[in-house]
Amino acid sequence: MERGARTRTEDSLPQGVGQAIRETAGEIAALLADATDMTGPVPGLEWTVGETAAHLALANGLMADVASGQERPYGDGTPRSIAAANARSLADFPERTAEPLAAMIVEQADRFLDAVGRATTHGTAAQTFLTPLGPLDHSTFASYLLTHMLGHGYDLARGLRRPHMINASRVELCLPFLQTAMPRLSAAPELTARYTLRLRGGTTFGVTFTDGTVEVLPRAPERPDCTIVTEPVAFLLMGLGRMSPWQAMARGAVLAWGRRPWLALRFPELFHVP
C-alpha cells in the first residue's frame, strides 16, 4: 500500500486503530511463520490451527470486501447462522498451509484499511457498512476487525503454544465494537439490572438491562446493582468466551461489589458470542 493511502486511513480512524490492525496481522503472520504443525488442535475450539488460520484469512477478506462496497451476506446476525456460514466457507476453502494463509491475513487487513480510508475520504461521515453483525460506522467496523483478529490470534497462540498479542491498549480499541455489539447479542430476556464496568487503568462505562432490553451507557449508571473491575485482557477474553468468570477470579483479574455482587458471575453469560 502506498504511503498516501496509509495516511488517509490513519486520518479516518480513531488514533491507534489502523496501526493496531496492521501490527496484529503481522504478529499473527509471525506466529504462523514458526508453525510446524497446522493440524494440531486449538484449545476450546473444534478447529485445528490450520482451520483457524484459514477462517481468519477468509474473515479478513470478507471484511475488506464489505469495506470496498461489496455485498457479502454472511448469516443473519445470529450466532447460529454465523457459525453455519463459517462452516460453509471453510468447506469451500481447502488451504491450510501456514505461509499462504499468513500472507492472506496481512494482505486482507491492509486491503481493509485501504478500503475504509477511501470510503471515508470520498464518502460521508454517516456512511455505514453492512457487516455480519449488522450495520456499523467505519470506526466501529475497524474495531470489529481488530477484535476478531485478536480473538483468533489468541486461539492460534494457544494452539501453537506461543505468547498471544492482546494487551490493554488494544483492548481499549476493541471497546467501540464490543459496546455496540452487546445490545445485538443479548441473551437475557427477563433480567433487570444495572452494571458498572471498569477496566483497570482504563475506561468505565455502564450496561443496563430492563426486562432484557440492553443499553450501553458512556458512564456508570446511577445506583448500580453490581460494579465489576476487570483486568483489560481478561475482560476481552471473557467477552469473547475464551475465559470463564471463575478462571478470571481465580487469577485475581476481576473484583465485584454492590447491592447484587453475584450478578458479576452471570454477566459474560448474558450474551451469545458468535
Instruction: Please state the three-class secondary structure of 7-61 as a single string.
Output: HHHHHHCCCCHHHHHHHHHHHHHHHHHCCCCCCCECCCCCCEHHHHHHHHHHHHH
Q: Is the pLDDT of residue 11 over 80?
A: no
- Whole-number Å distance between alpha carbons of 134 and 153: 23
DSSP single-letter state for residue 68: T
Amino acid at 174: C
The overall longest dimension of the chain from CA atoms, in Å, is 55
Q: What is the pLDDT of residues 80-106, one digit of tens each?
A: 899 999 999 999 999 999 999 999 999
Q: What is the pLDDT of residues 219-255, one digit of tens each?
A: 999 999 999 999 999 999 999 999 999 999 999 999 9
The band of 125, judged by pLDDT with boundaries at 50, 70 and 90, is low
Q: Is the pLDDT of residue 3 over 80?
A: no
Q: What is the pLDDT of residues 168-180, one digit of tens each?
A: 999 999 999 999 9
Q: Is 92 exposed, middle or buried (0-12, 13-18, 19+ CB in 10 A)?
A: exposed
What's the whole-model pTM score?
0.93
Q: What is the pLDDT of residues 155-206, one digit of tens each?
A: 999 999 999 999 999 999 999 999 999 998 888 888 999 999 999 999 999 9
What domains can be seen in the chain, in order of their start residue? 3-172 (1.20.120.450), 185-270 (3.30.1050.10)
Q: 106: closest CA among 14, 30, 12?
A: 30
Mean pLDDT calculated for residue range 50-63: 98
